[in-house]
Structure 1
Amino acid sequence: MRTNYVLIDYENVQPKNLALLEAEHFRVKVFLGASLAKLPVDLVTAMQALGSRAEYVRISGNGPNALDFHIAYYIGRIAAEDADPYFHIISKDTGFDPLIAHLKDKGIGCKRSATLDAIPILRSLTEAPRDEQVDGVIEKLKGMPKNRPQKDKTLRTMISAWFGKKLDDASLDRVVGELVRRKVIAVNQGKVRYTLPS
């Protein structure tokens, strides 16, 4: 699968659900304003969970479009290094739209979304039929062989985040129950064991 680069304009959008990006094909860059002094613990913890696939980029200097120019620079740099990238700019700033149109004209995939769960590749999981939702969860778990949740509660929290926290308790129980029924996971005294298909 092609690498999806998620470039977050943190001055504009402060995402709460980075767990949506746990799959191996995501790379995340969070762009921080030069004057930002503190970050929320939830963001830092979620970024740590992504390991080397995530990084902070503190912009140099201030100005009305300083952060936007940094994002544009990284898109150009990555596009020069990766033969088939896809970029997701997470921002409510419509000023990115002319750049996105230009990139598409040059054959480079790029889309702006106002939130993480509006990214098309992620939104499709929430809107998919029930069986495909479970298939999607399995694919995401296969994509994270080194940091799968070891506890049932943590697994449920992660699945909930993948669905943009839109699953009610009954739907979450259904997804986890189907993973057990398919023998993808076994849950014993709150601990999860994986037997994922290759």
Structure 2
Amino acid sequence: MADNQEKIVHFVDYENVHKHIPIDEIARGNHQRVLLFVGNQQTIPNDWLIVDYNITVIRVGKTSKDNVDFHISAYLGMVHVGRDNSVKFIVWSKDKGFDDLIEHLKSRKRRIERKEPRKPKKITGTPSKKVIKPAVEKKKIVEEKPETPQGKIVPPSIKQVGSRVVEILEKTAPAKRPRKQTTLQNQLEHWRPGIKFKHTTLQVINWLTQKQHIVITDDKVKYNF
């Protein structure tokens, strides 16, 4: 069921736009949701796995031409049926092949548009002294400013970490999930920078076991989802 606060749904063609979308702007808050469509062999950036991001990963099962596009088109139709017309859709892709479908959905009273992310501009030339000097002074002021408790980042709780891990694993094809506890622990370490958790991998696995998301027998992992 859709969240009543949801105002925007972002459909991200990761195969097409890669990491150039403003993920920190579009993935935060209950008012918007990101549906991230990734190819079978693609890897999601670790820094996109943080608990604060409202991202659902949809990974295609096979590698074939336009397979990701077909999935996006299918989800556009399904989500359109399940959302009020006040909810806006944004398709993040440079593929103009979506434009005809977008026009069709507009005729169905859907607020929808396609956006192409801007690539970061390359800085050329040598900055003048007038530009450098204020920047150095500003940095110096920041460094001398005493640290306050408000500035500290609170790491996610074990429940938040475990729930995020379950969400990621649910979106992973069963054949590609870690089958052994040691492999799962290695995978958790790989996700650590993105989820930003401080717990040990064993603590996370114990939480998953206690909540009956997984069962471990002789180092073999069975998933209950």
Displacement of 1:2 in angstroms is 5.3
Shift of 1:192: 2.6
Please give the alpha-carbon distance, in whole angstroms, between the structure 1 residues aligned to 2:90 and 2:72.
11
CA gap of 1:56–1:68, structure 2 versus 1, over 3 A, is same
Spell out the pairing of 1:155-194 with structure 2 (5 A cutoff). 189-192=147-150
Deviates more, 1:62-71 or 1:100-109: 62-71
For the 8 Å contact 1:15–1:115, the answer to whether it is kept is: no
For the residue of structure 2 that corresponds to 1:11, the secondary structure is helix
Structure 2 residue ranges without an equivalent (≥5): 120-133, 136-144, 152-225
Q: Distance in 2 between matches of 1:9 and 1:56?
A: 11
**What letter corresponds to residue 34 of structure 1 in structure 2?**
N
For 2:95 and 2:148, how far apart are their aligned partners in 1? 43
Which AA in structure 1 matches 2:58?
V
Contact kept, 8 Å, 2:6 with 2:33, in 1: the verdict is: no
Amino acid at match of 2:79: I
Give the C-alpha shift of residue 188 in structure 1. Answer: 7.8
Deviation at 1:82?
Answer: 1.3
1:69 aligns to what? 70
Distance (Å, rounded) in 2 between the aligned partners of 1:13 and 1:106: 27
**Are the structure 2 counterparts of residues 93 and 79 from structure 1 closer, same or farther at C-alpha, using a change threshold of 3 Å?**
same
Asked if residue 23 in structure 1 is aligned to residue 26 in structure 2, the reply is no
> What CA distance in whole angstroms lies between the structure 2 residues aligned with 1:26 and 1:2?
5
Structure-2 residue corresponding to 1:113: 115
Q: Give me the whole-angstrom Cα distance separating, in 2, the residues matched to 1:7 and 1:116.
A: 16
Give 4+ residue runs of structure 1 displaced > 3 Å after superposition. Answer: none
Gap runs ≥5 in structure 1: 118-167, 170-186, 194-198
Q: Secondary structure at the match of 1:49?
A: coil
Question: Residue type matched to 1:107 in 2?
Answer: K
1:3 maps to which residue? Answer: 7
Q: Secondary structure at the match of 1:83?
A: coil
Paired residue for 1:12?
16
Which of residues 47, 50, 70 is equivalent to 1:42? 47
Say whether the 8 Å CA contact 1:31–1:59 is kept in structure 2. Answer: yes
Question: What letter is aligned with 1:109?
Answer: R
In 2: Cα distance, 1:32 partner to 1:75 partner: 15
> How many Å apart are 1:43 and its aligned residue?
2.4
SS state at 2:75 partner: helix
Cα distance in 2 for partners of 1:111, 1:190 equals 42
The partner residue of 1:90 within 81, 89, 92 is 92
Question: How far is the alpha carbon of 1:23 from its aligned partner?
Answer: 2.6
Offset, 1:107: 0.8
- Contact 1:90–1:114 (Cα < 8 Å) also in 2: yes
SS of residue in 2 equivalent to 1:192:
helix
- Structure 1 residues 2 and 55, CA gap change in structure 2 (3 angstroms): closer
How many angstroms does 1:63 deviate by? 2.4
Residue 149 of structure 2 aligns with an amino acid whose one-letter code is K
Spell out, residue by residue over 1:122-167, the C-alpha distance to the aligned partner (whole angstroms, 9 max, x if none): xxxxxxxxxxxxxxxxxxxxxxxxxxxxxxxxxxxxxxxxxxxxxx
- 2: distance between equivalents of 1:116 and 1:8? 14
Name the TM-score, length of structure 1 as normaliser: 0.54
Q: 1:107 to 1:188 in 2, by over 3 A?
A: farther
Whether contact under 8 Å (2:16, 2:94) holds in the other structure is yes
State the distance in 2 between where 1:109 and 1:41 align.
Answer: 31
Query: What is aligned with 1:137?
Result: none
